[in-house]
Amino acid sequence: MEDTGSAARDIVICSSAHCVAVDAAHRFVAIAASAIRLRGRLTVALAGGKTPTLLYALLASTFPDAIDWGNVMIFFGDERCVPPDHEFSNYGAARHALIDPLGLSEANVNRIHGEDPDPDSAAERYAKSLAALPQQNGVPSFDLILLGMGPDGHCASLFPGKAALSETDRWAVSTPPGMQPEVTRVTLTMPVINAASNVIFTVTGADKAGTVTRVFDRASDDDLPSRSVRPSQGSLTWVLDRAAAAGI
């Protein structure tokens, strides 16, 4: 692994997708141990999509005793507007890979109600659940937000050109999809992402290399959503495999 970082952002390049998951798991455990020691609990927003499922499985299989999971409060960065048992559900994927294997109490899981026929209502309900978090400048501040990045540079469900990307008042909003799966989403907004104490991106695969290069090109004025992730007081770490990092 190479570790080339800057004051505002650390970039870790791993040899494989498995190595990315191992590195991210160790970072998750370290952040969790610190948050639980200092504040009695960890508040974490999980990423959706496929990349983090290996990380979640590792946390459940290899780190079940590394932290007191009973003090981990699970939230989500975004959700597809489908029922929780639907194949597209980010909650469903996390439940299968992490929540059930660790036997986490549903009381510690704050999911987005994707089954709500009114996505705006689901977003408002989720935003209300964030009021329980400590705040930074009036915005809920997670201890940790995990993010993936789509080939279009989106993160959470903040897609290029969609209104949700420029939302600055609400903490969670609904949004039309910007890519597959073509279902309405509910997402955290950028102010909440940038109020986090720690943000970790995990990005793997050659199909992401071009977008990763554009995200890290300081001369570029691309309006890629992932470029806007700059925690104002928190840490930002990109954990990439060599394929995704080929252009940087």
Establish if 18 lies at the interface with ligand 6PG (CB under 6 A): no
Contact with ligand 6PG (CB under 6 A): which of 22, 35, 45, 47?
47
For residues 208 and 110, give the distance between their C-alpha atoms in angstroms, rounded to a whole number: 30
* Euclidean distance between CA atoms 118 and 125, whole angstroms: 11
43 binds ligand 6PG (CB under 6 A): no
Contact between 144 and 32 under an 8 Å Cβ cutoff? The reply is yes
For the chain, what's the residue count? 248
Pick between residue 90 and residue 110 the one whose CB is nearest to ligand 6PG: 90
Minimum distance, C-beta of residue 65 to ligand 6PG, in the bound complex (Å): 27
Query: Total binding residues for ligand 6PG by CB under 6 A?
Result: 16
Which of 20, 44, 127, 155: binder of ligand 6PG (CB under 6 A)?
155
Which segments of the chain does DSSP mark as H helices, in order? 17-39, 52-62, 90-94, 100-102, 119-129, 190-193, 209-216
- What lies within 8 Å, CB to CB, of 201 at 6+ separation is 147, 148, 149, 155, 226, 229, 236, 237, 238, 239, 240
148 binds ligand 6PG (CB under 6 A): yes
Interaction of residue 210 with ligand 6PG, rule CB under 6 A: no
Using the rule CB under 6 A, is 50 a contact of ligand 6PG? yes
Chain residues that interact with ligand 6PG, rule: CB under 6 A: 47-51, 77-78, 80, 90, 148-150, 154-157
